[in-house]
Amino acid sequence: MYELIILGGGPAGSAAAVYSARKQLKTAIITSEFGGQSIVSELIYNWIGTPEISGANLSANLKKHVEYYKGPFLDIIEGEKIISITKNNNVFIIKSESGKEYNSKTVLIATGSSRRKLEAINADKYEHKGITYCASCDGPLFGGADVLVIGGGNAAFESSAQLLAYCKSVTLIHRSDKFRADEITVNKLLENPKFKTITNAEILRVDGEQFVNSLTYKDKNTEEEHTLNSNGIFIEIGQIPNTSFVKDILKLDENNKIIVDPMTQASTTEGIWSAGDCTNGHYHQNNIAVGDAVKAIEDIYIWIQRNK
């Protein structure tokens, strides 16, 4: 029986494991794999304290830091996908896809999220070759370029606003004629002469050579096909939180994100906390995931002392 089980080995889960082991809580960290979403990034420029680091090295460092604390207070269980959490007599029972069961007094869910992918011909082929899912990470690489943003919600407009700071032009392409983003945000951007929108567009394909260089869409009103030239295509069509396995034990919001108290990271179920991209917290970044997880561990530690 553990005092705490941490699910996920991204920035949030890794930070939690380090803090928990240092507080000498009997802890296990269980994860499909270490590293988190930015493992695929060529270079990360905003990991505080390190001006430049590859996603692969950041992930390796997170794992190394967790392994440093492996011992009497920390078990590391890698390669396990968790499929359910239930509760029996104040003990959480965590089941994995391989059929194993783990018991704990408390749980921290840090299973992050996956980006909703663009479904168009060649979209997977050019991922990280001009097609990107993170404007704040990759935007500065496209200084002076004409870029495209796909989406119609706040994330698409906020990414466009960031890109307008250094790109020559930003064209936002949306599948319907109504934007989901706040009107005030939309109107502010529409005032910018470098920004334009294309609505009622169905993205058909992207093309290129080594890197992407064009996107073809169909105008749903006229059925005509149009091709736009661009080397930078930013996809902001939503995120899918990795939370399906907890939907019966705690409350999720309308986007399937775990509802947490931002003061403590506590979920709606006593004994379960959550941190990072799987929560309904605003803004998702490596540094935020780490900070959320540390906050959660401080609260979990107090809860465990009170409930001994």
Ligand X SMILES: Cc1cc2nc3c(=O)[nH]c(=O)nc-3n(C[C@H](O)[C@H](O)[C@H](O)COP(=O)(O)OP(=O)(O)OC[C@H]3O[C@@H](n4cnc5c(N)ncnc54)[C@H](O)[C@@H]3O)c2cc1C
- List residues near ligand X by CB under 6 A: 7-13, 30-34, 36-38, 40-41, 44, 46, 81-82, 110-113, 115, 133-134, 137, 242, 245, 276-277, 284-287, 289
Which residue carries 């996920």 as its tokens? Answer: 8
Residue placing its CB nearer to ligand X in the complex, 3 or 236: 236
**In the complex, minimum distance from the CB of residue 83 to ligand X, in angstroms, rounded to a whole number:** 7
**In the complex, minimum distance from the CB of residue 196 to ligand X, in angstroms, rounded to a whole number:** 26
CA diameter of the chain: 68
Residue placing its CB nearer to ligand X in the complex, 199 or 287: 287
**In the complex, minimum distance from the CB of residue 297 to ligand X, in angstroms, rounded to a whole number:** 13
Residue placing its CB nearer to ligand X in the complex, 50 or 192: 50
Which residues have C-beta within 8 Å of that of residue 201, sequence separation ≥ 6?
A: 173, 174, 175, 217, 218, 219, 220
Residue placing its CB nearer to ligand X in the complex, 189 or 290: 290
Residue placing its CB nearer to ligand X in the complex, 12 or 66: 12
Q: Are strands 101-109 and 2-9 parallel, antiparallel or unpaired?
A: parallel
Residue placing its CB nearer to ligand X in the complex, 36 or 271: 36
Residue placing its CB nearer to ligand X in the complex, 107 or 201: 107
**In the complex, minimum distance from the CB of residue 58 to ligand X, in angstroms, rounded to a whole number:** 9
**In the complex, minimum distance from the CB of residue 214 to ligand X, in angstroms, rounded to a whole number:** 22
**In the complex, minimum distance from the CB of residue 36 to ligand X, in angstroms, rounded to a whole number:** 2
What is the 3-state secondary structure of the chain?
Answer: CEEEEEEEECHHHHHHHHHHHHCCCCEEEEEEEECCHHHHCCCECCECCECCECHHHHHHHHHHHHHHCCECCEEEEECCCEEEEEEECCEEEEEECCCCEEEEEEEEECCCEEECCCCCECCCCCECCCEECCHHHHHHHHCCCEEEEECCCHHHHHHHHHHHCCCCEEEEECCCCCCCCCHHHHHHHHCCCCEEEECCEEEEEEEECCCEEEEEEEECCCCCEEEEECCEEEECCCEEECCHHHCCCCCECCCCCECCCCCCCECCCCCEEECHHHECCCCCCHHHHHHHHHHHHHHHHHHHHHCC
**In the complex, minimum distance from the CB of residue 165 to ligand X, in angstroms, rounded to a whole number:** 16
**In the complex, minimum distance from the CB of residue 166 to ligand X, in angstroms, rounded to a whole number:** 16
Residue placing its CB nearer to ligand X in the complex, 118 or 201: 118
